[in-house]
Chains A and B, each alone.
Chain A
């Protein structure tokens, strides 16, 4: 494959251009259980090669899943034809980096026969039914294992190689009782089969589905709200344009002119930590082959930096922060790795607050320019440290920027999201609009 990439790169250089190549391949096995049998069993392998070419400041992109000689010649030609359609932009260019970087995971793991995987997947369905007679149907019980490989080569001589393997299980419980229905999903993700937490998935699905059977709407009004790390991660992730220099160039980042200003509570700091030890996996380099390092986005409430790739860095006369993102079939963008939302000046928990465990419709109900969002939520009412009620069928409306300005820190330890990609101190948001009865 390395030889094939060098051959394609020679074609790019022969056409008087510069560029970079990404070859991605993946293999996966997925199975799902339904009514006591494996009703879906999927084996897959695929690959895709993408090229970004730049000539006279004009950029063009092309990709192909056919790797025969004819397709390879054609796709390079198409990339240059695409470049001709673009307008010249002096910010486009390949970074002057050379040498090889490798990030190929090698997790020690024992050999697990497919019959064991099948048995465990079937149990994910049967056990949830056995443990609670109110579970009539299990909409989702699946096991997936996959590996992904990626090679990068630039015309400047930078090359990288990446390999990773992951295992995921998803479980659910659809409960019915007295004409009421409630469903809850949970999942576990790991680098080896042995690390999968089957018990947690079963117990979490049953626990929340059981409680949600009793969900009631709350009266419309203002409440104190605490989000679980998974829901807070979704909300903060939905507004990733706020931290993106690329969104600034596209005029869709409302914070782009606020560097050095206090944008959220001065008790809060936000960092991107690609090498964070507790994260799911360290991320050593970005999609342009730039080595990653810690990036302070917000420090004590003050906006410090944005995610940059080479293009945005040239535009804003800054340095690439190692946050370039590009798939084989897509153009250059920026993306974060692992977010750490830290805080200080811990305050006591309020006597009564809502804990949001599920927020639906975030992406359709969010305005990424204004920070306004509205979601359907479910969760628990806590009073005096005791869970007193389950709520649902209500909505929460707010503005992320305003919420983060008034957020209070109510814990000291960072807590991880389920996928170990987001870490936050416990936060409390006050006077949040809830629409219900």
Chain B
């Protein structure tokens, strides 16, 4: 059974068209989610909920008018449609729209297996015990388990009807170490589009070792030296540097305003020849994958930069209309409360020829950023900043002393030209990306890379 009657949708779209709109789409969403927080070695918080609503977008030329409501009542939906369309004050002869279901190939998600609550608690207990028994300095373990299922239905005035069910699962882990007056923390948040099998396949021992190593490194690390130096950024979450420093600048949301340093660089060399970068919505089971985007377009694998040359922007329907750059199945939004915008999916730097050891050995004096934290960018200037969660000094081509408090800053356009070595071992990591259409699941990733020079903020 559909979330909203097709007849009501026809009336809404018909109403928009009769008021002169060039395009109308309706996004219906029902998301059921559950969260469990395991802290102090017990379930301290357990919650569930239902998000339900309808978003209506009416487009006149390049202007998008957007409204949303929780109501499925025809009158309320027509009231919003008329309220939006009245801003333009046009009229036209209405036309009936008949919807045809979109046929598309679905990405392979995990099986979306369901289990009983006791099994979830049992798994969280094992993770907690593994971390606590792994190091006597562990003073706290916080596990936040999230599972949700988003059902979307998308209709538009071109007659499209598309629907997709998206199951998400994620485990956020935080461990805190205390040794006298010293304290440190480490965290990770693996996730997938899928069900409980993701947790069944979760390797507790490997995760425990990684978190405790990171927390211990930070606990006793010295302050990071400051200044410009070469930095080797390891695989996985290191990809956040590309996501922030370049990915956001390739979204037509920025390009259409000319508020991206790359807006007029199509076909030009914008990065070092060693760099090829991809935004791919079709990777089976990956956290940022979708079979269709939130405008009902099947997703695709999009090569953004090939051997340093800018090949494509990340584009949605309005982005294409405003910039001429073809849609890439990248119209995304957090929920019905947001109009879609061009957004990243699974974005990564593609594999290169080097091993991590070869890359490290090429650096006489620099920093090895094993694990990156978050960061941010101003797309209009390209200026970015990233925190490093786990870092070491490199001396004479060897990894030496652990350091803490490192921050990397610079400009996206500059940094892309300084990625001179790209490794073989590509790894993807789940994250959440916040931007104009809300907070959405995205994957970042890369093999190990070497940046020839970057400003490292640390102890002066």
Chain A residues with a Cβ under 8 A of chain B: 34, 37-47, 50, 59-67, 71, 75, 78-79, 81-87, 89, 114, 136-137, 139, 174, 181-183, 217, 220-222, 249-252, 254, 329-331, 360-361, 363-370, 372, 374-376, 392-397, 433-437
**B1 contacts chain A at the CB level, 8 A cutoff:** no
**When A250-B39, A363-B374, A433-B458 are in contact, do A369 and B63 touch as well, CB less than 8 Å?**
no
Q: Please, which residue of chain A has its CB at the minimum distance from the CB of B68?
A: A44
Chain A residue at smallest Cβ distance from B373: A364
| B385-A375 in contact (CB<8A) | yes
Question: A61, A75, A221: which contacts B46 (Cβ < 8 A)?
Answer: A61
Complex Cα distance, B218 from A366, in Å, reads 13
Contact partner of A182 among B259, B381, B410, B458, CB < 8 A? Answer: B381
A-B contact count (CB 8 A): 234
**Please, how many angstroms separate the alpha-carbon atoms of A75 and B161 in the complex?**
30
Q: Chain A's nearest CB lies how many Å from the CB of B398?
A: 24
Q: Does B383 contact A (CB under 8 A)?
A: yes
Minimum CB–CB distance for B228 against chain A, Å: 8
* Residue ID in chain A nearest B177 by CB atoms: A369
Asked if B386 is at the interface of the complex by the 8 Å CB criterion, the answer is yes
Q: Is B306 an interface residue, CB under 8 A from the partner? A: no
Whether the pair B176, A435 counts as a contact (CB closer than 8 A) is no
Which of these, A44, A136, A183, A374, contacts B405 with CB under 8 Å?
A374
Instruction: Give min CB distance, A228 to chain B, whole Å.
Output: 18
Q: Which residues of A contact B49 (CB under 8 A)?
A: 50, 62-64, 75, 329
Contact B67 A85 (CB under 8 A): no
Q: Add 5 more A-B contacts to A81-B48, A251-B176 (CB < 8 A).
A: A38-B63, A43-B80, A82-B48, A174-B381, A393-B383
User: For A43, what are the chain B residues with a Cβ–Cβ distance below 8 Å?
Assistant: 65-67, 80, 83-84
Interface 1/0 per residue, B387-401 and A, CB below 8 Å: 100000000000000
Nearest Cβ on chain A to B140's Cβ, whole angstroms: 4
Q: Judging by beta carbons under 8 Å apart, are B404 and A372 in contact?
A: yes
Complex Cα distance A252/B175, Å? 10
Are A65 and B52 interface neighbours, CB within 8 A? yes
Q: Which residues of B, 38-53, contact A by the 8 Å Cβ criterion? A: 39-40, 42-53
Whole-angstrom distance between the Cβ of B235 and the nearest chain A Cβ = 19
CA A396 to CA B223, docked complex, whole Å: 13
Contact partners of A363 in chain B: CB under 8 A = 374
Assess whether B158 is interfacial by the CB under 8 Å rule.
Answer: no
Q: How far is the CB of B110 from chain A (nearest CB, A)?
A: 23
Closest to B261 in A: A181
B50-78 contacts to A, CB under 8 A, are 50-53, 62-70
The distance from the CB of B211 to the nearest CB of chain A, in whole angstroms, is 14
Q: Check if B406 is an interface residue, CB within 8 A of chain A.
A: yes
Can you name 14 A-B residue pairings with CB atoms under 8 Å? A43-B83, A45-B70, A47-B70, A65-B51, A65-B52, A137-B258, A181-B382, A251-B139, A254-B183, A365-B373, A365-B407, A372-B405, A397-B460, A434-B460
A63 vs B406: C-alpha distance when bound (angstroms): 40
Q: Is the CB of A361 within 8 A of B407?
A: yes
Please tell me which one of the listed residues B337, B339, B387 contacts residue A40 in the complex, with CB atoms under 8 A apart: B339
Q: Is the CB of A331 within 8 A of B52?
A: no
- Chain A residue nearest in CB terms to B225: A435
What residue in chain B is nearest A44 (Cβ atoms)? B68
Which chain B residue has the least Cβ–Cβ distance from A395?
B457
Within the complex, the shortest CB–CB distance from B241 to chain A, in Å, comes to 12
Say which residue of B43, B87, B261, B458 sits within 8 Å of A397 (CB atoms): B458
Q: Are A34 and B457 in contact (CB under 8 A)?
A: no
Contact of A85 with B455 at beta-carbon distance under 8 Å, contacts A41-B87, A361-B407, A372-B404 already known:
no
Tell me, yes or no, whether B117 is within 8 Å of chain A by CB: yes
Contacts of B7 in A (CB 8 A): none
Contact of B50 among A66, A374, A436 (CB under 8 A): A66
Query: B108 interface residue, CB < 8 Å from A?
Result: no
Q: Does A367 lie within 8 Å of B184, measured CB to CB?
A: yes
A249, A365, A394, most chain B CB atoms within 10 A: A365
Residues of the A chain whose Cβ atoms lie less than 8 Å from the Cβ of B407: 361, 365, 374-376, 395, 397
Asked whether A85 and B43 contact (CB < 8 A) given A139-B259, A252-B176, the answer is yes
Nearest to A249 among chain B residues (CB) is: B40
* Residues 309-352 of B at the A interface (beta carbon under 8 Å): 337, 339
Q: Contacts A87-B42, A254-B183, A435-B456 hold; do A361 and B387 have CB atoms under 8 A apart?
A: yes
Q: CA–CA, A329 to B47, complex, Å?
A: 8
Determine which residue in B46, B140, B405 has the highest number of CB atoms from chain A within 10 A of its CB, and name it. Answer: B46
Contact of A83 among B46, B80, B176, B410 (CB under 8 A): B46
* Interface flag for B185 (CB, 8 Å): yes
Please pick, from B218, B339, B409, the residue contacting A393 in the complex, using a CB distance under 8 A.
B409
Q: Are B380 and A181 in contact (CB under 8 A)?
A: yes
What residue of chain A has the Cβ atom nearest to residue B56's Cβ?
Answer: A43
CB distance from B114 to the nearest CB of A (A): 14
Bound form: Cα–Cα A136–B49 in Å? 46
Whether A374 contacts B387 by the Cβ 8 Å rule is yes
**Chain A, residue nearest B76 (CB):** A45
A395 to B51, CA, bound (A): 41
- Find B184's partner among A65, A222, A370 (CB 8 Å cutoff): A370
Is B457's CB under 8 angstroms from A86's CB? no
Asked if B212 is at the interface (CB within 8 A of a chain A CB), the reply is no
B339 CB to nearest chain A CB (Å) = 7
B438 sits at the interface (CB 8 A) = no
**B4 touches A (CB below 8 Å):** no
List the B side residues contacting A329 at CB < 8 Å.
47, 49
What 3 A-B pairs are tightest by C-beta distance, nearest first?
A: A395-B457, A435-B226, A364-B374
B-chain residues with CB within 8 Å of residue A396 when the two chains form the complex = 457
A367-B409 Cα distance, complex, nearest whole Å: 18
Pair B63/A376 contact, Cβ less than 8 Å: no
Q: Which of B37, B185, B409, B410 has the most CB of A within 10 A?
A: B409
B385 engages A365 (CB within 8 Å) = yes
Q: Which residues of A contact B50 (CB under 8 A)?
A: 63-66, 71, 75
Closest-by-CB residue of A relative to B66 is A42
Q: Complex formed: what's the CA distance from A110 to B312 in Å?
A: 49
Q: Which of A81, A370, A375 has the most CB of B within 10 A?
A: A370
| B176: contacting residue among A89, A369, A393, CB under 8 A | A369
Q: Which residues of B contact A368 (CB under 8 A)?
A: 185
Establish whether residues A369 and B70, one from each chain, have CB atoms under 8 Å apart when the complex forms. Answer: no
B residues in contact with A181, CB < 8 Å: 261, 380-382
Which residues of B400-433 have CB atoms within 8 Å of chain A's CB atoms?
Answer: 404-407, 409-410
The residue among B117, B185, B223, B457 with the most chain A CB atoms within 10 A of its own CB is: B457
Distance in Å: Cβ of A395 to nearest Cβ of chain B: 3
Say yes or no: A435 contacts B460, CB within 8 Å. Answer: yes
Evaluate contact between A365 and B257: CB separation under 8 angstroms.
no
Q: Is the CB of A61 within 8 A of B47?
A: yes
Given A44-B337, A220-B227, A254-B183, A39:B381 Cβ within 8 A: no
CA distance A181 to B312 in the complex (A): 24
Bound CA–CA A137/B455 (angstroms): 28
